[in-house]
Amino acid sequence: MIFDTFSYFLLFLLPAALLFRGVAPSFRAPVISLFGAAFFIYFSLTTVGGVAGAFCLGLFLWEALVSRFYRPGSALCLLGIVQALVILFVFKYWNFTAGLVAGPGTSWRWTGAFLPLGISFFTFEFIHYARDRRENRTEAGGFWEYLAFILFFPTMVAGPIKRYQDFLPTLRSPTRDWANDFERGCTRILAGLAKKFVVADCMTSLTQHLNATDIARAERWILPFWLLAYAVKIYFDFSAYSDIAIGSARLFGMKVKENFDWPYAREDITSFWRHWHMSLTRWLTDYVFIPLGGSRVATGRIYFNVLATFLVSGLWHGAGLNFVVWGLWHGAALCVHRWWTGLRGDCVPSTPVRWINWGLTMTVVTLGWAWFTMDLPTALLFYKRLFLG
Amino acid sequence: MMTARRFLGSLVVLAGLFLLFNLLVHQLSRGSLPRKLLRAIRSAPDTELAAIGNSLVEAGFNPGEFSRGWSQDGSNIRAFNAGLGSTGPVEHYLVGRQILRYQPHSQRIVYGYFDFQLTDDGRGPLSEVFANRSISLIYEPDVAAGYLFTNGWSERFFPWLARLPVFVERGSIWAKVERQRRWFGDLGLPRSDSNHFGRAEDFRYLETSTPEDFQEKCRGAQAQRRPITPAVDALFREADGHGVRIYVVEMPMTRRHRDRTYDSDAWRNYNDYLLPLLAQYHAVVISAGDWVPDELFADPLHLGPAGAVEFSHRLGSAIRTLENQRSPGPAEKAR
Amino acid sequence: MNWLLRLKHWLEFLGGATDAVPRSFNGPGGWVLLAVWWMALVGLITLFCRQASKFIYIDF
């Protein structure tokens, strides 16, 4: 939804991009902010969250105000991080945690729970800004500039997760070569829509069977194809979304960093993660892995840091035990790869070995998608049928 | 390097290609179901009774058998099946308008319904106006727009989209892709029954999830004083204005569906609630829900050919009897 | 592997991901080819858009 509606293109993207290019530089940030606010309200009302979701625009305004007090080394930045985590926890993880702690029927459940549009993404941008301001890695920028950063609607809902340091220069001096920007931007958007409709959505005819009933009654030989179809679907779906987001930004004359770089062509799991959902991987590296000590600690601790980072990644993807397992699956694969690389040294693999590496990487990634797309009992049933018949 | 001139040149070429593409689609889609129905209505000006509705009517109404049921006393009637699958009240209204215009002898309309078709508003997003629902884009988009959407933006945009054959006919082209997609999706699974309306099992999903939900919906419609769906209201109002007699027929359902839904006080009360609403159009309500045994159904919802014979014959006979007894007054219920 | 790199470059160009124009596309008729490519994409989008499902990451 959203990126495949006429409303997105005709009510928001085109008018905002044209106005942005037409107004004086000092009005650019307010143009993005106002269109971003209207976008948030419109799509909250028409897709997720409803009226309550639309009121969550207040979170952006509050964040924009509070962020004006962030200073290098200031404790307020830490409070900003805690505030973003609390927002994320309440909306996304409250019921999951209540269910885990007090059982499924608990009265602690929030029955009217809803997810504000793009909460997983904008809270990560809030955290990034607070942390980088504390570490003095970014300038404060103006109120409207920061508001434009968090309300930049092409990337607001599902990324790529931006960095303020990258956003500010492109906001202040967008490219003026409008013909090239529009040609490349439109091509990117059209290619993204085609990827989504033609490839990703066509895979649904196979992936819709990834449920307990169909898994139980299907012939065994089709099961790997269903999972492979999901691997294709999620790549074409999410990379298409990123294409449209990046192409949309291009219409403003702004360049947003890439989110995918041929991840399925990679020959090891570490390389896969450097090229899959790159903005998230970079975020997790900078704000989880490195603060935990990164790879400059004892070997055992490195493995722990990798597992912890991917546990966070799994939980970020969804409030469910299957996502925890998916995160740990990839964390474990990365640990094994790190151990193997240390054992093997720096030798250059031959072509057949590279193909084997690629096959192994694809197998691990594809098998991992089972945890991602099915709840735990269904995924276990899937594996049971796949391997034991 | 892309210059402004080259970019604008590309846009102009794209516009030209898009025009050609539309012409091609327009040519290829001449045989689409909505257009076929439109041609059929226009080529049957002698029709005296037309049946309107969705796939239940399309599958269940057999004009020949209806005429045979009607003509027990030797009189004759020319009946016409204007039912079309995957359509809703707005499309039925537009089909009805075509009938009133091109079938001037049509003095009776049979409107087949099931569940809450008479009171569900049915407004939705633009993307739902697709496939056979493209009647709304083909017949009278300006009229249809007022009944289809909840937001004014889509309402104003709709008549413009109706001028684009690729938008109007995308359903009939997509149907070919969809068939391949279904074949692909069914690989490795036990064979499932399907007919020309789609996979038989899929029609179960059209039913309200539980009997309790169904009964709650019956009570809700009464409590909220739900009016007749605006498009159905418009259809009946115009038909009544033309002096056309309206027969509102509760279509035959399987034993399972009736057990779960119709055999309840809630449904009976809901139908009683509908009677005065339908009286304003002088409509006669005919409950045919239990007329056909399960074995004559092709799937959980649609009648098979033998079921259509059984239902249509009995309907013809019932309407004839009603008309012989008295001329219909305010809404009444017949079995 | 040169052809693979060329194919990658072409795909990235056709997908709008790179500004570097492939040599064979840079001729005088390049802008017409571009319009044909856009039309192909528009045609595919129009024909396939019906089954549109939510983007997976929208719910995250």
CA B90, CA A10: separation in Å to the nearest integer?
Answer: 27
The predicted structure's pLDDT at residue B2? 66
Residue B166: band (very low, low, confident or very high) from pLDDT cuts 50, 70, 90: confident
Spatial CB neighbours of A139, under 8 Å, sequence gap ≥ 6: A168
Taking alpha carbons only, the member of B99, B176, B88, B101 closest to residue B136 is B88
- Residue in the structure block whose two tokens are 């909306």: A91
Chain A residues inside the 8 Å CB shell of C15: 187-188, 191, 243
Cα-Cα end-to-end distance for chain A:
38
Count other C-beta atoms under 10 Å from residue A296's C-beta.
9
A192 and A135 share one domain: no
The verdict on A349 and A387 lying in the same domain is: yes
Q: Do A222 and B157 touch (CB under 8 A)?
A: no
The rounded distance, in Å, linking the Cα atoms of B41 and B138 is 14
Both A247 and A301 in a single domain? Answer: no
Question: Among A138-147, A248-257, B113-122, B277-286, which stretch is predicted with the lowest mean pLDDT?
Answer: B113-122
Per-residue pLDDT at B39:
92
Among A30-44, B11-25, B101-115, B138-152, which stretch is predicted with the lowest mean pLDDT? B138-152
Examine the pLDDT at B198 and tell me if it is beyond 70: no
Examine the domain organization and report whether A25 and A142 are in the same domain.
Answer: yes
Q: Chain A partners of B173 at a C-beta cutoff of 8 Å?
A: none
| Tokens 């276990």 found at | A380
Give the CATH architecture of domain B33-125+198-334.
3-Layer(aba) Sandwich (3.40)
Residue of C45, C46, C50, C59 for testing the chain A interface, max A β-carbons within 10 Å: C45
State the DSSP code for A40: H
Cβ distance of B10 and A183 shorter than 8 Å: yes
pLDDT of amino acid A325: 96
Helix (H) or strand (E) holding A227: helix A223-251
Mean pLDDT value of segment B261-269 = 91
Q: Which residues of C touch A201 (CB under 8 A)?
A: 48, 51-53
Which stretches of C1-60 are assigned E, i.e. beta strand? none
Note whether B181 contacts A218, CB cutoff 8 Å. Answer: no
Torsion of CA A249, A254, A256, A260, to 10 degrees: 60
Gap between the Cα atoms of B202 and B182, Å rounded: 12
Distance to chain A for B11, nearest Cα, Å:
10
Burial class of residue A320 in the structure, from the number of CB atoms within 10 Å of its CB (0-12 exposed, 13-18 middle, 19+ buried): middle
Q: Which of B44-48, B137-141, B196-200, C43-47 has the highest mean pLDDT?
A: B44-48
Q: How wide is the angle at C-alpha A325 spanned by C-alphas A319 and A329, nearest 5°?
A: 135
State which of A124, A159, A174 marks the end of a domain.
Answer: A174
CB B274 within 8 A of CB B333: no
Can you say how many angstroms the Cα of residue B295 is from the centroid of all Cα atoms in its chain?
Answer: 24
Same domain, residue pair A251 and A275:
no
B205 has a chain A CB within 8 A of its CB: no
Q: A46 and A150: one domain?
A: yes
The CA distance from B18 to B66, in Å, is 47
Q: What is the pLDDT of residue A32?
A: 96
Ranges of chain A whose pLDDT falls below 70? 1
If you ran DSSP here, which 8-state letter would residue A237 be given? H
C60 min Cα distance to partner chain A (Å)? 6
Instruction: Choose from A47-56, B113-122, B206-215, B247-256 the range with maximum mean pLDDT.
Output: B247-256
Note the pLDDT tens digit of each residue in A288-345. 999 999 888 998 999 999 999 999 999 999 888 999 999 999 999 999 999 998 888 7
Is B130's CB within 8 Å of C43's CB?
Answer: no
One domain for residues A386 and A294: yes
Handedness of CA A361, A365, A368, A370 (dihedral sign): negative
SS3 string of chain B?
Answer: CCCHHHHHHHHHHHHHHHHHHHHHHHHHHHHCHHHHHHHHHHCCCCCCEEEECCHHHHHHCCHHHHHHHHHHHCCCCCEEECCCCCCCHHHHHHHHHHHHHHCCCCCEEEEEECCCCCCCCCCCCHHHCCHHHHHHHHCCHHHHHHHHCCCHHHHHHHHHHCCCHHHHCHHHHHHHHHHHHHHHHCCCCCCCCEECCEEHHHHHHHCCCCHHHHHHHHHHHHHCCCCCCHHHHHHHHHHHHCCCEEEEEECCCCHHHHHHHHCCHHHHHHHHHHHHHHHCCCCEEEECCCCCCHHHECCCCCECHHHHHHHHHHHHHHHHHHHHHCCCCCCEEEC
Q: Is residue A22 located within the same domain as residue A161?
A: yes
Closest-CA distance of chain B to residue C12, Å = 16
Q: How confident is the model at residue B252 (pLDDT cuts 50, 70, 90)?
A: very high
Query: Is there a domain that residue A363 lies in?
Result: yes
Q: Which two tokens stand for residue A313?
A: 């990644």
Q: Do B2 and A180 touch, CB atoms closer than 8 A?
A: yes
CA A81 to chain CA centroid, Å, is: 18
B197 — pLDDT class (breaks 50, 70, 90): low
Q: How far apart are CA A210 and CA A372, in angstroms?
A: 11
What are A96's two structure tokens? 């999951």
The CB density around residue A117, as the number of other CB atoms within 10 Å, is 26
Contact at CB, A206 and B3, closer than 8 angstroms? no
Of the pLDDT bands very low, low, confident and very high (cuts 50, 70, 90), residue B1 is low
Question: Is A1 within a domain?
Answer: no
Beta-sheet pairing, B194-195 with B198-199? antiparallel
Q: Which residues of chain C make contact with B167, given a CB cutoff of 8 A? A: 46
* Count of helix runs (H) and strand runs (E) in chain C: 2, 0
Sequence ranges of the domains in chain B = 33-125+198-334
A307 shares a domain with A203: no
CB contact under 8 A, B7 and C52: no
CA distance A198 to A204: 11
Say if A383 falls within a structural domain: yes
Q: How many structural domains compose chain A?
A: 3
C-alpha to C-alpha distance for C1 and A355, rounded to whole angstroms: 14
Q: Would the pLDDT of B331 be above 60? A: no
Give the 3-state secondary structure of B133-146.
HHHHHHCCHHHHHH
CA distance C25 to chain A (A): 14
Q: At what angle do helices B89-102 and B141-148 cross, to 10 degrees?
A: 150
Closest by CA to A263, choosing from A227, A243, A235, A234, is A235
In this structure, the answer to whether residues A209 and A232 fall within a common structural domain is yes
- Point out the residue among C32, C47, C49 whose CB comes nearest to the CB of B13: C32
**How far apart are alpha carbons B117 and B133 in whole angstroms?**
15
Give the whole-angstrom CA distance, residue B25 versus residue B169: 7
- Considering the domain architecture, whether residues A16 and A121 belong to the same structural domain is answered as yes
Residues A286, A165 share a domain: no
Instruction: List the structure tokens of B285.
Output: 């309500």
Domain-terminating residue out of A157, A174, A191: A174
Q: What percent of chain C clears pLDDT 90, i.e. is strictly above it?
A: 30
Is there a contact between B282 and B245 (Cβ–Cβ < 8 Å)? Answer: yes
Question: At a CB cut-off of 8 Å and minimum separation 6, what does A353 contact?
Answer: none
Owning domain of residue A231: 175-256
**Domain boundary pick from A146, A174, A202:** A174
